[in-house]
């Protein structure tokens, strides 16, 4: 299960990739006008971006726990790309030591606009370049981000999921090729 360990040892959907994808999609990306304005404020605010970056750092620090969890839940599976290995990781195991950093993101976001800390569920399928092994990793309640209250509706949620998925495909995971990635926020 070395691939899953390598895959999850560092956050693949970084704060910078997410911010870039959201900002690129504010106009013409399916966001409502108010949500677009509020997301622009949030993702250009240094305090919010610093708090989100700290949470990405926290996730990277928990890489060993994430890798061990993935290895412990691994099982052979059929993926959309053929025979592979699947595993899962639950965010509460990762975040329980970092609740102060989640609170800091909530406070930073609230200073910009009303909203809440949202977490993502991600399904990432990779092919390892060296072994050609296909691995699908299901991660629940990961990657905390600040979601403006104006974006809490079906249309804006779809636009945010689409921008996040776009960012996921741009991630670089050394030695691996991203075959599929889906991101949903709650």
Q: What is the pLDDT of residues 94-140, one digit of tens each?
A: 888 999 999 999 999 999 999 999 999 999 999 988 889 899 999 89
Residue 5 has a pLDDT of: 40
> What domain range includes position 60?
2-185
Structure confidence at residue 186 as a pLDDT band (50, 70, 90): confident
Q: How many structural domains does the chain have?
A: 1
Per-residue pLDDT at 2 exceeds 50: no
3-class SS letters over the chain: CHHHHHHHCCCCCCHHHHHHHHHHCCCCCCCCHHHHHHHHHHHCCHHHHHHHHHHHHHHHHCHHHHHHHHHHHCEEEEECCEEEEEEEEEHHHHHHHHHHHHHHHHHHHHCCCCEEEEEEEEEEEEEECCCCCEEEEEEEEEEEEEEEHHHCCHHHHHHHHHHHHHHHHHCCCCCEEEEEEEEEEC
Structure confidence at residue 150 as a pLDDT band (50, 70, 90): very high
Across residues 10-20, what is the average pLDDT? 76
């Amino acid at each position: 299960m070395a691939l899953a360990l390598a895959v999850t040892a560092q956050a693949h959907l970084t704060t910078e990739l997410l911010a870039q994808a959201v900002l690129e999609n504010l106009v013409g990306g399916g966001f409502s006008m108010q949500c677009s304005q509020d997301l622009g404020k949030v993702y250009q605010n240094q305090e919010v971006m610093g708090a989100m970056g700290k949470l990405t750092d926290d996730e990277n620090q928990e890489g060993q726990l994430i890798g061990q969890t993935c290895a412990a839940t691994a099982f052979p599976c059929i993926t959309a790309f053929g025979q592979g290995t699947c595993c899962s990781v639950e965010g509460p195991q990762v975040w329980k030591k970092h609740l102060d950093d989640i609170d800091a993101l909530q406070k930073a976001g609230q200073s910009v606009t009303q909203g809440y800390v949202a977490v993502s569920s991600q399904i990432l399928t990779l092919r390892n370049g060296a072994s050609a092994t296909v691995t699908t990793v299901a991660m629940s309640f990961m990657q905390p981000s600040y979601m403006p209250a104006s974006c809490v509706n079906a249309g804006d949620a779809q636009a945010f999921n689409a921008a996040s998925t776009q960012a996921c495909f741009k991630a670089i995971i050394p030695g691996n090729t991203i075959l599929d990635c889906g991101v949903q926020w709650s």
